[in-house]
Structure 1
């Protein structure tokens, strides 16, 4: 089906705050409530593109909402072409910088624009991008936070069985390295050797700690060690990647494809996992994935499992999708997971529609 030309009318951006079933407990943060900004991009032709972003803390909403809403005024009446909007939105924020909240806002706009484009074409987003509807391999990232070994060992089978997952993510960075090792051992005994275990420090170590602690993980069969140090310390990541046998995973804090290219040029990692909210939405993802594909670097996702599933279907070196249910409370039809695979619905667009009753229950005014 040929896509209908669309004309940008405006944007509605709303904020909700959801309670997490399993609060985030990492070395650098504890989060019990998960804020979301829900975006509806309206067109003159009656097609509405939808997306959401999760900016981590509620306070950040009051800074992001005005930027996103301003896009609605800035682009009203213009052709609704995702790549063009991406470029125009970035240029409109040039004087305040391309990274940080600027890129977050652009990403929110971009994802909604691509959703609208796919709906206008009458096809799933992954098909519009040149791929096909199909399953995407996923690991469960909903839990295994910093808790005592007995607790994470009991939780691990629940997470595995929630969707027949063959991979789980655990968090490291306890006060004593021996407690991290005990947690890994307990989880292994609980779920067996056939489950892939991804370990995430959430940037919780300084360089000295990372050099002291990470080698002890090298013979434990971990799928990767994720963000052991601050994301901006590319030289430090490169040093670790060069010394460790276990692959180093970074990328959720890449603000645009150039950050990914710079990290690969520095040999700062073995794997990358861009975050759609920071990499530049679908447009930024496609450009970043092409760079990783050229280098032969496996690409995983960070958050946003619905949109992420679509782009993974057209990613040359697609690796793992990170699955969480953190936004499902406000979605009409959460994507099903079976046998460790996320299923993309054969529907026009990205497959995101709001449960308006739930949105009203969780809405906050900003």
Structure 2
């Protein structure tokens, strides 16, 4: 039996290339924990996750002291069993972001290893439902940008073939949010989707008010209008508006998604492969959403989500926010506004290991055997 013989961990800290702000925060940094698993055949799998400014060292500590030691000697092809065992190992800290982000880096590495050993790209190994996914851009829709800057970015993306753009909302005065949406809608017309994101900033009463405003501009979805753990208020809001409600980036377990879907509290699922704990649970959420006739439009991590979106039939959109440009030799392929998954065996991420090593946080590189 092939066994896991060696695991390396390190973390890269990437300042955002552009200023990123929303209604509750500004992205300080992009901490990127990376896990490299080598088996007894010499095959290697690479996994990663991320934070947006804090918590990275906690993830690295959980990996080093608790999770990675449990991998040595295990059969890397038994991904489901390993995921379950590691979840139980951390049951006192689950469900939560630090544990999920740590599990994800390992699980993603194991999937990369499996795909490489079987000489298959991830998008086919995980389902092979389609060979491209339409893109929408968030990178030019941040809250601090003026209406004119929003229009400039949206029209530029439209000219490149993108099918939509996301606008952050959450200004204190609703009229300020409306001015942003009105300018973009007038500039792009009705054949271009506009998504909105409240980043959990509203009360239920204010979310209802803002949703009424959004209806006038044919908005594709209202994302995270309320606290992610308030299922009841999302259910109430969803019943009161024609604007689709989107949730998922701040949810960390299968059961949380199940609750939203059972109660018809959201009609778009934005499951994040890092925050849900890896590819193994991501696919379960996507298939569960399919059973409820709900679309999957994942949050962030486009370089990995492009393959997962193409693995499942109910994916609708891929969010364009480049994350790994400084760590890879080649970028995700884009053609006519669609993201295209790599046909190379594995995740399809072309890591530049010299850049990874150069940008790694001092003292974060550990090797366990």
TM-score range relative to shorter protein: over 0.9
CA change 1:6–1:310 in 2 (3 A) is farther
Aligned position for 1:195:
192
Q: 2:345 aligns with which of 321, 343, 348?
A: 348
Is 1:221 matched with 2:211? no
Aligned position for 1:210:
207
Is 1:259 matched with 2:218? no
Aligned position for 2:147:
149
| Contact kept? 1:9, 1:72, Cα under 8 Å | no
Deviation at 1:96, TM superposition (A): 2.3
Aligned position for 1:269:
266
Aligned position for 2:52:
56
Q: 1:307 aligns with which of 279, 304, 309?
A: 304
CA change 1:306–1:176 in 2 (3 A) is same
Aligned position for 2:360:
363
Deviation at 1:269, TM superposition (A): 0.8
Deviation at 1:32, TM superposition (A): 4.5
Deviation at 1:133, TM superposition (A): 6.8
Is 1:74 matched with 2:70? yes
Aligned pairs (5 A) from 1:104-183: 104-131=101-128, 134-146=131-143, 147-161=145-159, 163-183=160-180
Deviation at 1:332, TM superposition (A): 2.0
| Contact kept? 1:51, 1:352, Cα under 8 Å | no
Aligned position for 2:325:
328
Aligned position for 2:34:
38
Deviation at 1:56, TM superposition (A): 1.3
Provide the C-alpha distance between the structure 1 equivalents of 2:310 and 2:289, rounded to a whole number of angstroms.
15
Deviation at 1:213, TM superposition (A): 2.2
Provide the C-alpha distance between the structure 2 equivalents of 1:37 and 1:275, rounded to a whole number of angstroms.
16
Q: TM-score, normalised by structure 2?
A: 0.93
Provide the C-alpha distance between the structure 2 equivalents of 1:109 and 1:349, rounded to a whole number of angstroms.
14
Deviation at 1:306, TM superposition (A): 2.4
Provide the C-alpha distance between the structure 2 equivalents of 1:48 and 1:54, rounded to a whole number of angstroms.
21
Aligned position for 1:318:
315
Provide the C-alpha distance between the structure 2 equivalents of 1:160 and 1:326, rounded to a whole number of angstroms.
21
Q: TM-score, normalised by structure 1?
A: 0.93
| Contact kept? 2:303, 2:324, Cα under 8 Å | no
CA change 1:118–1:6 in 2 (3 A) is farther
Deviation at 1:189, TM superposition (A): 2.7
1:285-313 Cα deviation digits (max 9, x unpaired): 11111211111111111112122122222
| Contact kept? 1:133, 1:345, Cα under 8 Å | no
| 2:110 partner SS | helix
